[in-house]
Structures are given as C-alpha cells and as structure tokens.
A and B are shown apart, each in its own frame.
Chain A
Amino acid sequence: MSLIDISGNLLFAAFIAYLVGTLLFGGAIKSSKPDGAVTRADKWGKLALIVTIIGFLAHIGYFITRWIYKGHAPVSNMFEFTTAFGMFIIAAFILIYYMYRLTALGLVALPVAILIIGYAAMFPNDVDPLVPSLQSYWLTIHVITAAMGQSILAISAVAGLLYLLKSINPKKKSKSRFWMEAVLYFGVLVVGFILATLIFKGFGYEADFTFIDTKDAEAKITYNMPAVFGMNDYTLLTDDVMEPLVEMPAVINAKKLTTVFWAFIFGTVIYLLVRLVARRRILDMLHPLVQKVNLNLLDEVGYRSVLIGFPVFTLGALVFAMIWAQEAWGRYWGWDPKEVWALITWLFYAAYLHLRLSKGWEGKKSAWLAVIGFAIILFNLIVVNLVIAGLHSYAA
C-alpha cells in the first residue's frame, strides 16, 4: 500500500475515533460526579480521552505520511488545510483538557472537529502539484502557525457554546434561546451539506453544461448535484437530468449556489425531522446533559483560550503572512480579501479582550462573542476561499 493510501486510512481511523469519543464524552458528562477542575473525570471520561488521543495520533499520522509523500507540508489546498485545522482543534482541546480537566469540553470540541473534517472530505483530496508561489518554507511556517492560532481560538467558542448550552433556559422564550438554536441549526446544515454531497456522489450524478462566463467566453462546467440554478446563458449537454429552474448572471457561480441550496434543503429537512421526532428544540435535548458543568470554570477556559490563542494567531496569520508576502510579491499587505478578513478576525478578538478586561464583559456576553469570533474564522475559511476571488483564493 502506498504512503498516500496509508495516509487516507489513518485519517479515516481518526474520524471514527472522534465519533466514538463523542459518545463516550456524552456518557462521561451524564455521570453523577460534579465536573470541575479538581475532580478527575470518571471511567467514561478517561476512556473518552484515551480514544480521542488515539484518534489524534492517527490524525498526526495522516498528516506526516502525506507530508512525506508530497515533500512539503500538506496545507496547500482546501481539503488539506481544513483537515489540518480539525487536527489542531483536537490538539488544542487535549492541551486545554490537561490544564483544566474539563471533560465537558470534549462533548462540543469533538463534534466540531468531526464536522470540520467531514466538510473537508467533500473537497477533492488529490495530491495537487505545487505552484511556484507556494514553494517556500514560509508555506509551512505561516499556514501551520495560523491554523494553530485559529484552533486555540476555536476552543473559546467551544467553551462558549457549552456555557450557553447550560445557562440558556430552554423553557423561557428569549433572544438567546433563538440564536442558540440557530447556531445548532447551522451545525445541522453542515451535516446536510455532507449528506447531500455524499448521496449525489453515491448515485454518480453528473450533468454537463456549457455557458458564457464573465469574460464573454464559452466555458464548460459539470454539476455533481441536480441543477436548480443555471449558469449564465447555459446549454445543457447531458440527457435525462434536471433542467435548471432559474438562470443566474455571469458573476454568480450557479453551481456553488446550487450546492448551497441542496445543503439547505437536506439540512433543514433533517432539522425538522429531529424537531418532529423529539418534539423539542435541539437546545432542549442538550441542555440537561450539561447541567453539571461549572460555569465559572468554563468562562475562564473560554477567556484563557483567547488569551493563549491571540498571540499565536497574530504571529501566524499576520506577522508570518506579511513576511512571506513581502518575499513573494514584494508587498507585505495588499488588502486582498483573505488578508482583510484575517485583520477583521484579529480586530474582533482584540475587541473581545478589551471588552472583557476593561468593560467587565464576562459570562454569557463573553460566550456569545467567542461564538461570533469563530463564525468570522469560518467565514474566512469558507466564503473568502470559495466565493470571493483573490490572490489567496483556493477557488478559481
């Protein structure tokens, strides 16, 4: 078996381990002992952590074998970067766990990592040849440090989510309850995206089109999902497949829009089914699970994660990025969308720290800020990479 195959298998093993780990963490939380810094996690918790670490080792194994195979750090396309991001989140979780022994974090951290890896797996994972601009040791240094910084910051969102899961009263109507459910709904949408992609790929669905692009030239495109939105001035080439319902102007990538649309459909259907079967909100179902966690400690973990992660993020996403940009392009800052959104992320967390330290924003407010910060990080990962074109774009 070649190194690249071993690599893929290790990733799959990690994924399974994280799934098992999530279930075990759920069991650990339900245990009767109060959770907290001093009390050690009981049997379930210990087992959950061991499984997580096994998964993490397998994940590192994937990373290293792929690195050896390619000859450079495997962070150069959407799939590689996102799986690495998931890996660092698990690493950050393990680190914070050993600092605070907060088992409950695993219940949120692992699913987040699973969703991220699942999302990543929907992208082509071929070993692409490396373009000259990426042939630099700065690729390793900048991308890995930035990913580490982002993953530590992600743990603050994990702690924040846990905080909100406990502190929001599901029985009382409030803005918090609405938005919390919205966040959980978003998680379901990601599941919807993964499911839609897998199912249509399973059927081998393909529809070929020609269309007129923004430069008024003819281009080809293949849809992997039934075409709801059509490209500009499209002509359908395949028979017996769905005809687009709406045509889009050239600036809009109708294929991507269609994908988003299907993710919405699948995700919403799943969500509605869950609501129907359970007759409660998702928040309602999760709220009792987390009753034993210590809010003060969660608040501190959330804050500490930002405090630890902020310098790392600054170093990786801004300082190293600027140094590399100067080396490669002769300008350390060009206001391209990815750079701008990295700056926005940085400014946001600076605001978080100031609000916390000087204005006393703790507890719930801090938790919501952490969740918003993570949303900005995801925006940078998803929208800026795939929708907004630029020097940095992984998309065309």
Chain B
Amino acid sequence: MDKIICVCGHENPAGTKLCGKCGRPLTEEAKQSKIVDMKYDGAAIRSKTRNKSIVDKIWNFFSSVKVGIALIIINLIAASIGTIFPQEFYISVSTEEEKAIYYEKTYGSLGKLYYELGLSDIYSSWWFQVLVGMLAISIIVASIDRGIPLHRSLKNQRVKRHESFMKRQRVISEGPITEGDSAKTLSLVEEKLKKLKYKVRREGNALLAERGRFARYGPYINHVGLIIFLTAVMLRLVPGFYVDESMWVREGEMRAVPGMEGYFIENEEFILELHDNEATENQELQGVNVVAKNYQTNVKLYKQAEDAIPGKADNLELVKEYSIKVNHPLQHEGYSFYQMDFRLNEIKTMNFELTNKATGESLGAVSVDLTNPQDEYVIDDQTKVELLGYYPDFSGFENGEPQTATPTPNNPAFIFKMTTPENPEGEVSFVAIQQTIEPNGDNEYKMAFNSVETRNMSGLTVHKDSSIPWLALGGAIFMIGVAIGSYWNHRRLWVEQLEDGTIRLAAHTNKNWFGMKKDLDAVTEYAHLPKYIDQSDDEKDDEDEEKEKEGDSTL
C-alpha cells in the first residue's frame, strides 16, 4: 500500500488518520467526523495497512481488539463451566471407573454427561489451555501492533497543529481573550500550566502543554506483566521446576520424602488443640461440634549425609526441627512442607492381661507394640505368651487362615499361644476386637484386652515451585502497569495565537475529562482565555440515539 503524502509535505504510512506532522485529517472518515479518534494519536495501526499473505491474515486476526474481547469472554465462560459440578481434583476417588460412577451417582445423568465430555477436568484439558494460549497471542500481537506506532507518534509529535486538527478535538475554544494584553497571553498560559506540572513547548505562536505521557504506556506494561505471568505458569511443566507430593507420617515414624531425594521426615508429635466454646449458630448449621484452634506437626527433617540412595536410612544428619502449622510451612532449599490433614487415634500398642478364665486372676501383662511385635513375651520361666500371628486389619478367614485387608491397624487380630504352669504345652487362642476363637476347644486362660495406646498421623504435602519468582515478577509488573494506566492520565493542551490576537485552543486527555476540565478552568481564568466547549455534550442525552464510536476493528 502506498504512503499518504499530506498537504504539509509529510509522508505518512498508509492507514494514518491524522498527519503525523501537522495533524490534518487524512482519511474521509476523519475529515467528516466532528471529533476525531485520538486513541492512537491518529497513527496507523499496522494491521490495517496490509492484508496480503496468510501470515498477515493470521496476524490481523489476533491483532483485533474485537477478537481479543471475544477471547476474554470465551475464556470466562469456559472457566465458569468448571464450577457447575466439583472438579475431579476435589472429589475423593482416584480411578477413572470410580470417577465415572461418582458423577453419575451424585449428580444424575447431567453429572454423567459432565464427566464424559471431560468437563470434570476442564482446566487441564488441551482445549482450555489452547484458549488461554490464544488469549496470550492476542495480547502480544495487539500490543506490538499498537504500541510501536503509538510510541513513535508520541515521541515525534509537533507543537503546531493544523486548524482542522484543532477544531476536531473534543474540547475546543476559539475567540478573543476576555481581558488584558493579548501579547502576554501565551506566557500567562505557559506560567499557569507549568504550575500545574505540565511540560510546555513553544514554537512561534503555538504552544503544546503535556502532562503524564507515561500513562499511555500503562496498558502495554501490564500486558508485558501478564505474558511473563503466563510464561511462568508454563515453566511449571519444565522438569525439575515443580514438585507436588503428599505423604502420611505417623507419630514416631520416619519416612522418605517423595520428590526430594535423600531427605527424610520424622514425625515427633502431632498436636491438635480445640476451641472450647459453646457451639455457635454457624457451627450448628454446618454440623460441626468442635472447631480446631490449632493443629501442628513437630517434625525433624533429616538428610542422608553422603550419597543419598533410596532405601538407605542410616548415617542421617539432622537438618532442621520445626513445627509445621497451617500458614507456616517448613521451608528448606526451595522445598516447602505444608500441614494439610491428619488422622487421629490409630492403635499403636495393645495391652493384654493373661487371665485365668475361671478365677479372673491375671498372671501378668503383655504389651504388644504393633510397630514391632515380638515372637514371644516371657512373664516368668513357666509363663510366656508366644505370638503366632498378627493381622493388622483382620478381614475374615480363608481356608482357616486369618486374612488382613491392609497393613493399617484398623482391626488388629492375634494368634496367641499361652504357656502357663497349668498348661505347659500351651493353649492357642485367636483374639480380635470383640471376638475370641479357641480352635482347640475351651482354654483355661485367655488374653484379656486391657487398654490401648494410640498415635496420630499427619498428612503433609511437599511442594517445590521454581516458577514462583517469575510469577511474582509478572504480577508486580502487571500491577504497576495497570496502576499507571488507571491512576494517571495523559493530558495535552494545544494553544495557538492567531494574527489578530485571538486564541485557538484544543485539549485532549485519554481519560478523566472531568479532571482535564478542572485544569482548563484554571488556565482559562488565569490567562483570560475564551470559554471552551465540549463538543460531545449534545450527544449523550437522548437515550435511543447512541452511536457506537468508531473502533479500530479490522474484521
């Protein structure tokens, strides 16, 4: 496309609306409009200037603000769909079959459909990621397309503008000064505006006062921040950048930390404190009897001294001792341990009394530590109890053999062989909770259950996220950009004194006309300028006559 050569002689790139040098309107549209579009200072948005290859077509597509807004709305709608039913992440079943059943059972056929369409794991789906990606592309392309021309035109703007430019601004005034010496007018204007913190440039009889130009860059800065943020989110996928594991550790246990080679966590103690208040109305509504005041796990973090090999747990050195609470994770070398969950009162030790069934007399106590059961428990040289079998989670018999469902002591069962002075060959008894079976007929002695000792279990999550500093950077830049763009505005005032002493004035700001007008009032009064008018005022009052101001849509 050809360049447009203005009457004043300046060469403008194709698509320019207002001449870069003098400001004369160049396009038919600009010439006919009452108030010109000053969004990019009349500069050509690059995407409008070419339409040739497929690359250009794709570029123009992403450069369009209309498309960008549409992408924002589509992302918004897609995100909201994920809140109709709980996402898979939040339900407590793990396999695919269980999930399918869960959604159908709990939410009916709608739930089944939700699951089958993949909507129950929407945020990890490829198409959602593509949508976000497209939004990112839109931000980048649109910013490049507009930012560069805007920067150029702001940098190169002239002081003196053509009459047709001035007359087409939103706020204008033209006429003689109301009092005083016209020769002094421009100086008065300069003086007052400088007091109002404007930068003033003079060129002959023309004056340009400008303030807050940096505010125009706000949107571009915040876009940069957003892109950095999204890139940081992407970084998570780079191996080594991100660890997210969970581990359960019982009091007294030591476990290898998943995802953190060579490190071990020992749970010294788990503490739960409760509020001792009378249940409030909110609590009753939620069916919560007591509210936790504090829960923490006191841990010791160990490290394998030299070569860390899985399975090796000797030669450990203590790295840190810490109380992990909610909001207070244990942090070490980029890894963090969070207190997530807990389970109370798992059986640790069971205490029995070797009791004579008839007399009720006890020969001695036997304490079985479920973390380390012994082959036999000797009471004296004629009395002992042998442990023939231990089944932590007794689930029934199979072929006469006791079975255990899990390694967790939810339902401990034992086979004891009791050797007593009366029965030196030993009596066998199978003892479970609320169940005693004597396979060889009635025994004389029994293992009477006395008491238990319990221990608690902590659920910790281990995290490492090296992308966080980048996220923080992106977020900070975004906030700075959006603050600059929102809280500051770019104000300009062009004043020209004509041959006969009359003043021609035009004003523009990218936002906050109310504030701009306050400045105008001040300088009008000070320099005795003619009263200004707002050319847009007659447009707003009639409710049906709203015209959508021309945008820069390329589609």
> Does a CB–CB distance below 8 Å link A and B in the complex?
yes
Measuring CB to CB, which residues of chain A are less than 8 angstroms from any residue of chain B? 37, 77-78, 100, 123-124, 126-133, 135-136, 138, 167-169, 214, 219-220, 249-251, 295-297, 299-300, 303-304, 307-308, 310-311, 314-315, 319, 322, 326-332, 334-337, 340-341, 343-344, 347-348, 350-351, 354-355, 357-365, 384, 388-391, 395-396
Cβ A360 vs Cβ B548 within 8 A: yes
Select the stretch in B69-77, B314-322, B430-438 that faces chain A: B69-77
List 26 A–B pairs whose Cβ atoms lie within 8 Å, in order of A's numbering: A78-B282, A100-B514, A124-B282, A127-B280, A129-B291, A168-B543, A214-B106, A251-B106, A296-B536, A300-B513, A303-B511, A314-B479, A322-B475, A330-B340, A330-B463, A335-B82, A335-B89, A336-B90, A340-B82, A341-B83, A347-B79, A351-B73, A351-B76, A364-B543, A389-B86, A396-B285
Q: Does B375 contact A (CB under 8 A)?
A: no
Measured between beta carbons, the chain A residues less than 8 angstroms from B486 are 307-308, 310-311
**Chain B min CB distance to A88 (Å):** 18
B490 smallest CB distance to A (angstroms): 13
Q: How far is the CB of A124 from chain B (nearest CB, A)?
A: 3
Checking A123, A250, A344 against B79 with a beta-carbon cut-off of 8 angstroms, the contacting residue is: A344
Q: Count chain A CB atoms within 10 A of each CB in B80, B292, B325 and give the residue with the most.
A: B80
Q: How far is the CB of B297 from chain A (nearest CB, A)?
A: 12
Given A128-B282, A168-B543, A335-B87, residue A135 in contact with residue B65 (CB < 8 A): no
| Distance (whole angstroms) from the CB of B509 to the closest CB of chain A | 11
Whether B327 and A133, one on each chain, are in contact in the complex, defined by CB atoms closer than 8 angstroms, is yes
B residues contacting A by CB (< 8 A) are: 39, 65-66, 68-69, 72-73, 75-76, 79-80, 82-83, 86-87, 89-90, 106-108, 123, 244, 275, 277, 280-283, 285-288, 291-295, 325-327, 329, 336, 338, 340, 461, 463, 468, 471, 475, 478-479, 482-483, 486-487, 511-514, 534, 536-537, 540-541, 543-544, 546, 548-553
How far does the Cβ of B548 sit from chain A's closest Cβ, in whole Å?
5
Q: Across the interface, do A358 and B551 meet the contact criterion of CB distance under 8 Å?
A: yes
A132 B543 Cβ-Cβ under 8 A: no
Residues of B within 8 A of A128 (CB): 280, 282-283, 291
Chain A contacts of B468 at CB under 8 A? Answer: 326, 332
Do B89 and A334 have beta carbons less than 8 Å apart? yes
Instruction: Enumerate chain B residues within 8 angstroms of A78, measured Cβ to Cβ.
Output: 282
Contact B285 A124 (CB under 8 A): yes
Q: Which residue of the partner chain, among B106, B280, B293, contacts A126 with CB atoms under 8 Å?
A: B280
The 5 closest A-B pairs by CB, nearest first: A360-B549, A124-B281, A126-B280, A129-B275, A167-B543
Find A132's partner among B293, B461, B475 (CB 8 Å cutoff).
Answer: B293
A389 — which chain B residues lie within 8 A by C-beta? 86
How far is it, in angstroms, between the C-alpha of A126 and the C-alpha of B83 when the chains are bound? 30
> Is B546 within 8 A of A315, CB to CB?
no
- Assess whether A344 is in contact with B543, with CB atoms less than 8 Å apart: no
A396 to B282, alpha carbons, bound, how many Å?
A: 10
Chain B residues with CB below 8 A from A299, complex form: 540
- Contact present for B552 and A310 (CB under 8 Å): no
Residue of A nearest to B107 (CB): A251
In Å, the complex CA distance between A131 and B551 comes to 51
Contact A340 B80 (CB under 8 A): yes
CB distance from A218 to the nearest CB of B (A): 12
Given contacts A167-B543, A360-B549, 15 further A-B contacts (CB under 8 A): A128-B282, A130-B293, A132-B295, A169-B544, A300-B513, A303-B511, A308-B486, A322-B475, A330-B244, A330-B329, A335-B89, A344-B76, A351-B76, A360-B548, A396-B286
**Chain B residues within an 8 Å CB radius of A126:** 280-282
- Give the A-B pair count, Cβ closer than 8 A: 175
A396 near B280 with CB under 8 A, answer: no
B522 to chain A, nearest CB (A): 14
A315 touches B479 (CB 8 A): yes
Say how far A35's CB is from chain B's closest CB, in angstroms.
Answer: 14
Q: Please state if A358 and B281 are interface contacts (CB–CB under 8 Å).
A: no
Q: Are B327 and A132 in contact (CB under 8 A)?
A: yes
Chain A residues with CB under 8 Å of B513's CB are 300
Chain A residues, Cβ within 8 Å of B283: 128
Partner of B327 from A297, A327, A351 at Cβ < 8 Å: A327
- Chain B nearest CB, measured from A328 CB (Å): 5
Question: Are A358 and B546 neighbours in the complex by a CB distance under 8 Å?
Answer: no
Chain B residues near A322 (CB, 8 Å)?
471, 475
Contact partner of A329 among B275, B338, B548, B551, CB < 8 A?
Answer: B338
Contact call A314/B123, Cβ cutoff below 8 A: no
> What chain B residues lie within 8 Å of A351 (beta carbons)?
69, 72-73, 76
Contact yes or no, B479 A359, CB < 8 A: no
A360 near B275: Cβ-Cβ < 8 Å: no
State which of A337, A343, A365, A388 has its C-beta within 8 Å of the C-beta of B546.
A365
Q: Closest CB-CB distance, A34 to chain B, in whole Å?
A: 13
A389 to B85, CA, bound (A): 9
Given A126-B282, A131-B291, A132-B326, the answer on whether A359 and B461 have CB atoms closer than 8 Å is no
Is B80 a contact partner of A344 (Cβ separation < 8 A)? yes
Contacts of A296 on B, CB cut-off 8 Å?
534, 536-537, 540
A252 CB, nearest partner CB in chain B, Å = 10
Question: Given the complex of chains A and B, what is the CA–CA distance between A126 and B280 in angstroms?
Answer: 6
Min Cβ gap A155→B in Å is 15
Partner of A129, one of B293, B475, B537: B293
The CA-CA distance from A308 to B514 in the complex, in Å, is: 14
Contact A37 B514 (CB under 8 A): yes
Cβ–Cβ contact B338 & A330, under 8 A: yes
Cβ–Cβ contact A300 & B479, under 8 A: no
Q: How far is the CA of A344 from the CA of B84 in the complex (A)?
A: 14
CA distance A308 to B486 in the complex (A): 6
- Complex contacts, A354 vs chain B, CB 8 Å: 65, 68-69, 72
Specify which chain B residues have a CB less than 8 angstroms from the CB of A100 in the assembled complex: 514
Instruction: List the A side residues contacting B461 at CB < 8 Å.
Output: 329-330
Check A328 against B326 for contact (C-beta < 8 Å): yes
Cβ B482 vs Cβ A310 within 8 A: yes
* Residues of B contacting A358 in the complex (Cβ-Cβ under 8 angstroms): 39, 65, 551-552
Contact between chains at A347 and B512 (CB < 8 Å)? no
Query: How many Å from the CB of B277 to the closest CB on chain A?
Result: 5
Residue of A nearest to B124 (CB): A335
CB distance from B287 to the nearest CB of A (A): 6
Pick from B69, B87, B275: contact of A359, CB below 8 A: B69
Q: Are A169 and B291 in contact (CB under 8 A)?
A: no
- Nearest chain A CB to B362's CB is how many angstroms away? 40
Cβ–Cβ < 8 Å partners of A384 in chain B: 83
Q: How far is the CA of A344 from the CA of B287 in the complex (A)?
A: 31
Q: Chain A residues near B90 (CB, 8 Å)? A: 336, 390-391
Q: Name the one of B72, B89, B295, B541 contacting A295, with C-beta atoms under 8 angstroms.
A: B541
State A78–B285 Cα separation when bound (angstroms): 12
Contacts of B336 in A (CB 8 A): 330
B342 to chain A, nearest CB (A): 11
CB distance from B436 to the nearest CB of A (A): 31
From B108, B280, B534, B552, contact of A249 by CB (8 A):
B108
Which residue of A has the minimal Cβ distance to B142?
A: A358
Tell me how far the C-beta of B66 lies from the nearest C-beta in chain A, rounded to whole angstroms.
7
A183 to B108, CA, bound (A): 33
Most chain B CB inside 10 Å of its own CB: which residue of A319, A363, A389, A390: A363
Determine how close the nearest CB of chain B comes to the CB of A326; give it in whole angstroms.
Answer: 7
Minimum distance in angstroms from A369 CB to a CB of chain B: 11
What residues of chain A lie closer than 8 Å to B544, measured between beta carbons?
A: 169
Minimal Cβ-Cβ distance residue in A for B111: A251
In the docked arrangement, what's the CA distance between A364 and B336, Å?
Answer: 51
Of A77, A132, A365, the contact of B282 (CB 8 Å cutoff): A77
Q: Is the CB of B482 within 8 A of A311?
A: yes
